[in-house]
């Protein structure tokens, strides 16, 4: 197991996570959840219901984690030892039966026993339900989840697409588990706006002005905020970045559309991680221009998204070309009255646009500068959100 531990990153180093699995066809994804958490440096101990052990052998989870799974009640107190040692508990998949047992304190399986015991020790318990659409819409599910929320359990409901229930992808689960394990819910109740990705300003019907922004930095910020309890609204341009499917996500094309949608509502904090086009053609041509003809374009400024947003704390982002990052970033911070600005160089091919990595400077209005070394964007997002939390407090 050591050969894969930390190969993604090491943020979960010295953290032990209990992974509870119950009887569901989604159980095969739990193997990848376990492996992903280990690749982030964590240690994973699997606890199974006896029914789950009949469709996936405990031996397979033993292979996947390097730890012997627990799948039968022995009458001893190993569940207490496990919970005391654990940093967090995640149950994925959690069937309606398992949810109901936990909600009503019926500890009849190793999974429900650990989950009930964990709240007694104030450990975070994260539940990912899995069931057919009829059970998801049942009053029993509604009642069980209501009770669980009142008791402090965190529930991320399954996704419904075209009338079918879809269990989240393992990386989505691992993202949430990692953030909650490390930071808890310190953004609980905070209203947050995230702008993300590029915008497009059309020259004719098919050609446009844009930039290489992938939206990955904005998506990482949205994931971290959502995991930590914020009410997140994402306004993003066209990209393949994956945003949390549980948050409000609005896709736009032009900078003007981004400014308009971002202005709807008031926020505690706004992260302007998008790279909206600064200029647009004064005239948009109808149809498709003849590629053999010369044309002259007059470009005019687009609206500044930040000026339309009402937020108590505003966090700007600036893409800098050249060495003078600090000076250029402070000038932009002052110009747009940001409370904090995040600067990175985009003339480096190993970070920034399109890359999964970033290296940034976080500059505060009072002159403080924090350097975040080259890291995966999810970890950079965590550092940015940590700094912003200080401003909110």
pLDDT for the residue 255 = 98
The per-residue pLDDT string of the chain (393 residues; one tens digit each, 9 = 90 and over) reads 788 999 999 999 999 999 999 999 999 999 999 999 999 999 999 999 999 999 999 999 999 999 999 988 776 766 788 999 999 999 999 999 999 999 999 988 999 999 999 999 999 999 999 999 999 999 999 999 999 999 999 999 999 988 889 999 999 999 999 999 999 999 999 999 999 999 999 999 999 999 999 999 999 999 999 999 999 999 999 999 999 999 999 999 999 999 999 999 999 999 999 999 999 999 999 999 988 889 899 999 999 999 999 999 999 999 888 778 899 999 999 999 999 999 988 778 778 787 899 999 999 999 999 999 999 999 999 999 999 999 998
pLDDT for the residue 347 = 77
Per-residue model confidence as pLDDT tens digits over 305-343: 999 999 999 999 998 887 788 999 999 999 999 999 999
Exposed/middle/buried for residue 78 (C-beta within 10 Å: 0-12, 13-18, 19+): middle
pTM: 0.95
Sign (positive/negative) of CA torsion 277, 281, 284, 290?
Answer: negative
CA 167 to chain centre: 16
Q: Rounded to 5 degrees, what angle do the CA atoms 24, 30, 34 make? A: 160
Residue 136 and residue 161 in contact, taking contact as beta carbons nearer than 8 Å: no
- Quote the CA–CA distance of 120 and 115 in Å, as a whole number: 9
Per-residue model confidence as pLDDT tens digits over 335-351: 999 999 999 887 787 78
Q: Rounded to 5 degrees, what angle do the CA atoms 159, 149, 40 make? A: 60
Q: Coil, helix or strand for 39? A: helix
Q: Coil, helix or strand for 322? A: coil
Q: Rounded to 5 degrees, what angle do the CA atoms 121, 145, 40 make? A: 55
- Whats the size of the chain, residue-wise? 393
Q: Rounded to 5 degrees, what angle do the CA atoms 24, 26, 27 make? A: 75
Any bridge partners for residue 318, and if so which? 343
Rounded to 10 degrees, the C-alpha dihedral 329/335/339/342 comes to -20
Per-residue model confidence as pLDDT tens digits over 57-81: 999 999 999 999 998 877 676 678 8
Rounded to 10 degrees, the C-alpha dihedral 373/377/383/388 comes to 130
pLDDT for the residue 282 = 94
- Quote the CA–CA distance of 317 and 77 in Å, as a whole number: 51
From the list 170, 168, 171, 169, the residue with the least C-alpha distance to 157 is 168
Q: How far is CA 342 from CA 61, 95, 142, 351, in A?
A: 41, 42, 42, 14
From the list 385, 97, 348, 356, the residue with the least C-alpha distance to 227 is 385
Residue 81 and residue 45 in contact, taking contact as beta carbons nearer than 8 Å: no
Per-residue model confidence as pLDDT tens digits over 208-219: 999 999 999 999
Domains and CATH numbers, the chain: 16-183 (3.40.50.1950), 191-392 (3.40.50.10300)
Per-residue model confidence as pLDDT tens digits over 151-169: 999 999 999 988 889 999 9
pLDDT for the residue 355 = 86
């Amino acid at each position: 197991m050591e050969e894969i531990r930390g190969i993604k990153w090491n943020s979960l180093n010295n953290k032990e996570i209990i992974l509870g699995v119950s009887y569901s066809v989604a159980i095969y994804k739990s193997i990848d959840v376990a492996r992903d958490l280990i690749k982030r440096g964590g240690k994973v101990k699997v606890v199974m219901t006896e029914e789950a052990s009949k469709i996936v052998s405990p031996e397979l989870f033993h292979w996947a984690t390097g730890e012997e799974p627990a799948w039968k009640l022995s009458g001893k107190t190993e569940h207490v030892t496990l919970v005391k040692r654990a940093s967090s508990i995640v149950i994925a998949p959690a069937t309606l039966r398992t949810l109901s047992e936990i909600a009503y304190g019926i500890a009849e399986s190793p999974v429900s026993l650990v989950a009930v015991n964990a709240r007694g020790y104030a450990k975070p318990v994260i539940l990912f339900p899995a069931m057919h659409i009829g059970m998801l819409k049942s009053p029993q599910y509604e009642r069980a989840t209501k009770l669980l929320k009142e008791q402090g359990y965190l529930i991320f409901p399954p996704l419904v697409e075209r009338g079918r229930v879809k269990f989240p992808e393992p990386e989505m689960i691992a993202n949430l588990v990692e953030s909650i394990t490390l930071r808890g819910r310190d953004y609980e109740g905070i209203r947050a706006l995230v702008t993300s990705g590029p915008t497009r300003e059309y020259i004719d019907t098919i050609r446009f002005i844009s930039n290489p922004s992938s939206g990955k930095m904005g998506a990482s910020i949205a994931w971290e905020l959502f995991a930590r309890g914020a009410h997140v609204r994402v306004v993003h341009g066209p990209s393949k970045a994956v945003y949390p499917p549980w948050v409000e996500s609005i896709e736009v094309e032009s900078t003007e559309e981004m400014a308009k949608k971002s202005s709807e509502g008031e926020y505690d904090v706004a992260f302007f991680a998008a790279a909206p086009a600064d200029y647009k053609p004064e005239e948009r041509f109808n149809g498709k221009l003849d590629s053999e003809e010369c044309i002259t374009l007059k470009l005019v400024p687009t609206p500044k998204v930040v000026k339309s947003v009402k937020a108590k704390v505003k966090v700007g982002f600036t893409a800098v070309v050249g060495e003078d990052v600090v000076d250029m970033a402070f000038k932009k911070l002052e110009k747009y009255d940001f409370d904090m600005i995040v600067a990175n160089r985009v003339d480096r091919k190993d970070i920034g646009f399109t890359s999964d990595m970033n290296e940034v400077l976080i500059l505060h209005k009072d002159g403080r500068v924090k350097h975040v070394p080259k890291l995966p964007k999810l970890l950079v997002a965590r550092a940015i959100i940590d700094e912003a939390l200080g401003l909110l407090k």
